[in-house]
Structure 1
Amino acid sequence: MINWEVVMPAVFTWLKESESGALEIDFDITQKQAAAVLNAQGKGGSRMGGLVASGTLGENSYLSNEQRLSLLKSLSEVAKEYNVPLISGAAAETKEELAKIIEGLATVGVDAVMVMPPKTKEVPTDEEMFAYYELAAATAKEAGLTIMPYNNPDAAGYHALSTDILIKLAALPEVTALKISTTDVSTIETLMLENKDLKILAGVDSVTVHAGLAGACGGITGVGTIFPKASITMQEYVLKGEWAEANKISQAMNSISYLDAQPLLMECLKFAMGIHHNDTDGGLRTLGKKLTQEQIDDVRARYFLAKERLEVLDLI
């Protein structure tokens, strides 16, 4: 059983140029950066409680199925070394396509699957939405996995999961947690009032503290992949109910956490990671959209402001 009362890093997929000039996965750097994040400790001595790979920040939408499985297989080695579960994102247009993706993920060491709503132009009915997740749950059960419905309508542009659907999905035995990525934490409060035993993970860094107050037990972080000590320490304070201390860290990271709720969150945070590791060229290599110079300058300013504030708190 996965312990969800933790913070987990959503790691970036690092890319390099092949001899032909095309971008390909740099498995070595991706593994090393994931290991470095898992090796970090908070001030209380705890570490990240899982490894989230090939999610929104891992360029999931742009990777081929073969690339995705190869990436996850390489990162499963890192997850096993640090004895943490490996979690992957999955999105598809149909429930049948989703089932095939989940079956594939089970072959490369994935323990749980974050399942996004169907990638359709038309909004599914509640019945269609539930059937999509129901088949995912049944497929996961056969493959020995669990699933985590992933509600992220704000930045990722997926169809929103209604509170009623989330409550129904939480009752499925294969659903062991819900990921709620929204700046409106009232959704978390509503779900917790319905069922106080739910395991809910916050997915937007700027509201980690508010999500904890609303009842979230943990979080999946993008900014924490860049500043792991700060993210882990903040979660330590949240779990202990030391809200003032947690809020100090949240405020220190606010300039960069803002990016986690924007449409280009992957491109922006990946570039910030490149700055952090003195590899700005690598940080700009993406299969997604290219940042403008104005966006590059904005990310750079936000990164250094957060770094300066975290240094004062001894959290770099």
Structure 2
Amino acid sequence: MKETNNLDWRYSVMPAVFTWLKESESGALEIDLEATKKFASDILKVQGKGGSRMGGLVGSGTLGENSYLSSEQRLSLLKALSEVAKEYNVPLISGAAAETKEELAKIVADLATVGVDTVMVMPPKTTAVPSEEEMYAYYELAEVTARGAGITIMPYNNPDAAGYHALSTDILRRISVLPNVTALKISTIDVSVIETLMLENKDLKVLAGVDTVTVHAGLAGACGGITGVGCIFPKASVTMQEYVVNGEWAKANQISQAMNSISYLDAQPLLMEYLKYAFGIHHNDATGGLRTLGKKLTPEQIEDVRARYILAKERLEVLDLI
């Protein structure tokens, strides 16, 4: 049984890594496990100006093509990423969503077998809006299943960009105290919900999930964040979190402003496609950045992402954060 209950989520930022794809002999897209592992390792190697590194590794999340992968693809991807997480001694987190609580429980149990330490549980993928009790039961069974498998869960609220059902503040309160809930991930540009929850429970661990509000979320009480832009600019992301932890808000905000042109994309419905392409540009592999199981970007969208990436890179170079 893995020792995951004592994972310290405080004061860290974690990269939600992209699932890199390649063309098979038939021309179909398949996961490039070696490239995905290499990029994840390269991100975890980077230190901030204060010497800290990323505090975890998120695979098969919203940015990792989660919605488009089969169960077999997802498990093989996470098994590969678990090797990287172990090498850098950080927890491995995976996204998970299902239509029913029973389907979700099976996913949680399966993820525990491939080295996942925490399952980032998205709300149910149903057309009808679940009742409060149905929503609670969905997370309760996930927590019970995770506890039995020796792992933890992280409820994930992301109504703005991902289009999932929103978790009410009352539900967030109720599920946050379940034994094997290690943190809440709250992805919204309205950080008042974080402040409300933290005022009621100062020991609660909340991770911000939108790059544009990292500093504001820290002011509201968030202990860290899960970042997409940090995959592209990890030194900047880690350094910004160091400043947040130290209460050096002006310095943290300077970095946030420098990255704002590209962080903006993290709160858009096509965040995966946008940020993956920017990541490809950053690694001189624009074609690879356009390989996705999701939506195809238009020429206008491609040019917009490129311009935003270049502006952020120029600003961060001035701060010695590339």
Instruction: Please classify the TM superposition score into its range, dividing by the shorter chain length.
Output: over 0.9
1:16 to 6, 16, 22: 22
Matching residue of 2:3: none
| AA at the equivalent of 1:297 | E
Matching residue of 1:260: 266
| AA at the equivalent of 1:306 | A
Work out the CA distance in 1 between the residues paired with 2:181 and 2:198. Answer: 15
| AA at the equivalent of 2:194 | I
Instruction: Answer yes or no: is 1:45 the counterpart of 2:51.
Output: yes
Matching residue of 2:7: 2
Instruction: Answer yes or no: is 1:194 the counterpart of 2:200.
Output: yes
| AA at the equivalent of 1:281 | T
- Give CA-to-partner distance per residue, 1:193-213, whole Å, 9 cap, x none: 111110000000000000000
- 1:269 Cα deviation (Å)? 0.1
Matching residue of 1:273: 279
Matching residue of 1:313: 319
Work out the CA distance in 1 between the residues paired with 2:166 and 2:196. Answer: 15
Work out the CA distance in 1 between the residues paired with 2:253 and 2:90. Answer: 27
Structure 1: 5+ residue stretches without partners? none
- 1:16 Cα deviation (Å)? 0.2
Matching residue of 1:89: 95
- Provide the identity percentage: 82
- 1:49 Cα deviation (Å)? 0.4
- 1:144 Cα deviation (Å)? 0.4
| AA at the equivalent of 1:16 | K
How do 1:183-262 residues align onto structure 2 when only pairs under 5 Å count? 183-262=189-268
- Give CA-to-partner distance per residue, 1:203-238, whole Å, 9 cap, x none: 000000000000000000000000000000000000
2:289 to 280, 283, 289: 283
Matching residue of 1:79: 85
Structure 2: 5+ residue stretches without partners? 1-5
1:301 to 290, 304, 307: 307
- 1:68 Cα deviation (Å)? 0.1
2:179 to 169, 173, 178: 173
- 1:298 Cα deviation (Å)? 0.2
- 1:2 Cα deviation (Å)? 1.4
Work out the CA distance in 2 between the residues paired with 1:196 and 1:27. Answer: 40
Work out the CA distance in 1 between the residues paired with 2:8 and 2:302. Answer: 37
Matching residue of 2:72: 66
- 1:36 Cα deviation (Å)? 0.2
- In structure 2, the residue corresponding to 1:108 is in which secondary structure? coil
| Root-mean-square deviation over aligned CA pairs | 0.4
- Give CA-to-partner distance per residue, 1:255-309, whole Å, 9 cap, x none: 0000000000000000000000000000000000000000000000000000000
| AA at the equivalent of 1:177 | A
- In structure 1, the residue corresponding to 2:226 is in which secondary structure? strand
- The TM-score, its normalising length taken from structure 1, stands at 1.00
- Give CA-to-partner distance per residue, 1:140-169, whole Å, 9 cap, x none: 000001000000000000000000000000
Matching residue of 2:162: 156
| AA at the equivalent of 1:217 | C
| AA at the equivalent of 2:268 | Q
Work out the CA distance in 2 between the residues paired with 1:99 and 1:225. Answer: 30
- In structure 2, the residue corresponding to 1:89 is in which secondary structure? strand
- 1:176 Cα deviation (Å)? 1.2
Work out the CA distance in 1 between the residues paired with 2:167 and 2:245. Answer: 27
Work out the CA distance in 1 between the residues paired with 2:160 and 2:193. Answer: 13
Instruction: Answer yes or no: is 1:121 the counterpart of 2:89.
Output: no
- In structure 1, the residue corresponding to 2:113 is in which secondary structure? helix
| AA at the equivalent of 1:30 | T
Work out the CA distance in 1 between the residues paired with 2:149 and 2:297. Answer: 39
- The TM-score, its normalising length taken from structure 2, stands at 0.98
- 1:15 Cα deviation (Å)? 0.1
How many aligned residue pairs are there? 316
Work out the CA distance in 2 between the residues paired with 1:103 and 1:165. Answer: 23
